[in-house]
Structure 1
Amino acid sequence: MLPDGLVVRSARPVAGGSANPVWWCELDDGREVVVKVARETQPDLSEIEAEGLAALSAQGGLATPRVVTFSPRALVLEAVGTGELPPGDARFWADAGRAVARLHAVRSERFGWQRDGWLGRFRQRNTWDADGHRFFAENRILSFLDKPGAEAALDADDRAGLERVCAKLRELVPDTGASLTHGDLWRNNLIAGNAGEPVFIDPAVSYVWPEVDVAMMLFEGDVPDSFFAAYQELRPLHPDWREHARILHLREWLSMVATFGPDPERVPKIRAVIRDYA
């Protein structure tokens, strides 16, 4: 599993690796690293994630773990802090909010990225496009509908409803331009660094609307208001951004349904968005 030259003395699983197993390892030379294991169907996952972490750090100024090495089967990162998130720490979340706002100041005239990436177990299409609504509709919503899990979970009315939402997207979500985004910014993709600072992990990088990142912070809840308040000190959000978030969450709900199939929690949420916005 590990690239040549690395020998593990001990290892323990790290919680949160639903798409890919993650291990906290002590090497035989005493170093501690985190190892993310790629599936056989994802031979370029490690390389793409390493590139994404580098872009977030070099271009966006985010704190990210240092990449030790990678191979087609594993990404090896320096171990940061304890790997755990300090729940409810207002200062931590305020620092994170300002860091994300600074990231979003990095702009592009086009939406997309230099190569396709991964979101969970699926390719994330990043073909460059000057039209943000078309980019999001085609690459972040409709692209999941042909996956077996989504086909099993959603019926013809659901698919038609999602197509109607996409057709109305210009009316529903404002075009705020393309910013450099983390791309999978839910609360478990932040950890506390050695000095308690926010460190960002597991990106799915692209240039897209900055609200996509902010909306993800609402996805699982439990993110303190200090994050959103600090973000808006630097980048004020649209007054209806929380409403927009329900639509932007379609990408994540569809990704999960595509992965896990019919689900009594996720499918009703997708149908609620269709009911309210199609």
Structure 2
Amino acid sequence: MRLINRHPGRAARLVLGSLPFLAIVLVYLAASATRLADNPGDKLLPALSSFARAIETMAFTPDRRTGAYLLWSDTWASLGRLWAGLGISAVLTLIAGLAIGVLPMVRALLAPVIAFVSMVPPLALLPILFIALGLGETSKIVLIVIGVTPFLIRDLSLTVASLPREMIIKAETLSASTWLIALRVVLPQAMPRLIDGLRLQLGPAFLFLIAAEAISADAGLGYRIFLVRRYLSMDIIFPYVAWITLLAVAMDLGLGGLRRLIFPWWGMEGRR
């Protein structure tokens, strides 16, 4: 049998998927042991025991100044900003994406400017947002919206525009209005794609969030990472980076599960 036709079973996929993670851990442990053998006070690659102490301090020990558990307070601060930005982006995308995909006049009006805005590097706008909106929560949320929404709109409008024309024609022959076609024919096809689009934009959204928090914030995961970097506290930075990754993975799995629950028919033709 050719290799192209050999598919691993569930157990084999689990083992194969675990091997790269195991290799990363082993490489880190070997490099850390080598550096610590030469310099026991080395901070670049801390031992696992240092990670354990840092996690206990950040997650399970109240801060002496505020009394808060820093990891959890940082997490909720960051997630609040992230969810607000993604929520606003989803609403704007649904409205603009449907309008551009369904209405040719709106497509001619808005599609060029959306394509242009999507090419602007969002992080380059961060100083402008801080000047115009201040250093508070608004500028951080707006950065996420600006960074994510244009790509979501373009993706959703292309999905809507690529729907089989026969679906629209059949609805028109049944005397459906434009509003009814958008609501009953297009919207059910667009919603699962919007959820998948949000999944794809989780990485950029976290990037914009952490960049904004690093410059101006008094709480948040990005704020904490850039605060402790001046002390070379890699025992805190590495766990925070791992925690951000776990949050992103959990949100991705949650959105995927939501899409499968609400739209179980989506993906029956090989789409994921």
Tell which structure's C-alpha radius of gyration is larger. Answer: 2
Normalised to the residue count of structure 1, the TM-score between the two structures is 0.21
Normalised to the residue count of structure 2, the TM-score between the two structures is 0.22
Flag the structure with higher helix content: 2
